Amino acid sequence: MRVIIFIILISASGCNKSNPQKEINNVLDSLHYLASVADQKKYIDLFSKNAVFFGTDIDERWPIDDFNSYVKSRFDTGTGWTYKANSRNIFVAKDKRTAWFDEIVENKSYGEFRGTGVLVLENNEWKISQYNLLLPIPNDYLQKYANEIKKYYSSN
């Protein structure tokens, strides 16, 4: 009888094991979905208490409180932004408390972007600690756009 109880307990504990990659996928999918429906509270709740969001502009380094203000002002209009993940790679640290990812996301107006970031486990929930939204530039266009960007920042 003890053996049967032991086997049941072992089996039950195996069923409760989390799948960090699946959970992280859900967080990132929720991030994009909640932005598209302009749900500010649930969107911001996906971030850690000391998160930082990096936008595409060099000046867009937003600690979570600043980012929340921007998100609120944008989502209060009823309009968010829509990115659809086309591919994603997730890597989980050995301690299973930190993870990092890269993804290719698509926006109908602007095309493909790369999102990269870090998630941390806070109170047994995966939270985005850092998100970077990047516009990849093909190498053949890099010098041309780099010169344009230099001109832009030197004139401001």
Cβ(119)–Cβ(47) below 8 Å: no
- CATH, range 18-155: 3.10.450.50
What pLDDT score does 156 carry?
82
Predicted TM-score of the model (pTM): 0.86
Token pair listed for 16: 């409760």
> What does the DSSP 8-state code read for residue 55?
-
- Give the tens place of pLDDT for each residue, 35-61: 999 999 999 999 999 999 999 999 999
The model's confidence at residue 10, banded by pLDDT at 50, 70 and 90, is very low
Q: What is the pLDDT of residue 3?
A: 45
d(CA 134, CA 4): 54
- What are the sequence ranges of the domains in the chain? 18-155
